[in-house]
Amino acid sequence: MQQLVIGAGSAIAQALIQQSLQQGDSIVAVSRQASSCEELSAGGRLRWLQCDYTESSIDAVCAELQESGVAFDRVTICNGILHDESLSPEKRLENAAIERLETVMRINAFIPLLWVKALKPLFKVKRKPCVITALSARVGSIGDNERGGWYAYRASKAALNMLLKTAALEYQREAKLVQFLLFHPGTTDSPLSKPFQKNISPKKLFTPQFVASQLLRLQGELTPDLPIQFIDWQGKQVEW
């Protein structure tokens, strides 16, 4: 199986790469920095590409992939931000600010869409089944929002869901063998969730390895009758 893992520096992506290599897959990994797990190259089955996630850089990576003739069975987009040194989730409406909103929306929603856009020519030429997955979140569910807060993150994940649902419909007309999956991993023990773990039950704080194994299983179990699904780590549907 040939996989493309985008945002490969994240904790879930690293676990996904490790497990996929162990089961014999070949992987193209994309991240800002050079590989932090080059020892897992597994006889050349791991190829690492650098990308700064600008539109031109994404286009260049996809042009290189198309020229190489690679045909992917799975694409997993792991890009995402919840906080960094200069921003954190808004607890109240008064904390909302345009710079924070723009940054989170660009990383969590717009960059995944740019990948889906740039990859489409590969799937129009290479006609084989493929699952394109993006890491979403239950807090991006409009119907499930009962607590409020986290304006930028909620909005960005809701936007991601809408953008990829729209893209999935277009793919169905031009690359019918591609399915889309929006995946809620649950609270994962990673740098992204670290500041928000104190009230999480240990039973509900998952390791990246567990999340990766659940994702791999669910990707393999998708039925071909739906262009896109929004499901959680258990395989249960999440309300849009």
Q: Beta-carbon neighbour count of residue 80 at 10 Å?
A: 23
**30 has which bridge partners?**
6, 49
211-215, Cβ contacts within 8 angstroms, sequence gap of 24 or more: 211/12, 211/15, 211/185, 211/186, 212/12, 212/15, 212/16, 212/18, 212/19, 213/19, 214/185, 215/12, 215/16, 215/76, 215/133, 215/183, 215/185
Residue 57 has pLDDT above 70, yes or no: yes
Radius of gyration from C-alpha coordinates of the chain: 17
Nearest Cα residue to 197 out of 77, 82, 101: 82
State the pLDDT at residue 142.
Answer: 95
State the pLDDT at residue 206.
Answer: 85
Nearest Cα residue to 9 out of 205, 149, 190: 190
Q: Distance between CA 143 and CA 122 in Å, rounded? A: 35
The CA angle 228-230-233, to the nearest 5 degrees, is 130
pLDDT band at 127 (very low <50, low <70, confident <90, very high): confident
State the pLDDT at residue 2.
Answer: 96
State the pLDDT at residue 181.
Answer: 98
Q: What are phi and psi of 15, to 5 degrees?
A: -65, -40
Per the rule left: phi > 0, alpha: psi between -120 and 50, beta: everything else, 142 is: alpha
Q: Which stretch of 52-56, 73-77, 138-142, 197-201 has the lowest confidence by average pLDDT? A: 197-201
Q: Distance between CA 163 and CA 113 in Å, rounded? A: 7
pLDDT band at 84 (very low <50, low <70, confident <90, very high): confident
User: Once rounded to an integer, what is the mean pLDDT over residues 140-169?
Assistant: 96
Q: Distance between CA 225 and CA 204 in Å, rounded? A: 31
Residue ranges of domains in the chain, CATH in brackets:
2-232 (3.40.50.720)
Predicted TM-score (pTM) of the model is 0.91
Q: Distance between CA 13 and CA 127 in Å, rounded? A: 26
Cβ 183 vs Cβ 175: under 8 Å? no
State the pLDDT at residue 41.
Answer: 53
Q: Which residues of 147-157 are buried (b: 16+ CB within 10 A; e: fewer)?
A: eeebbbbbbbb
119: tokens are 């990859």
State the pLDDT at residue 233.
Answer: 94
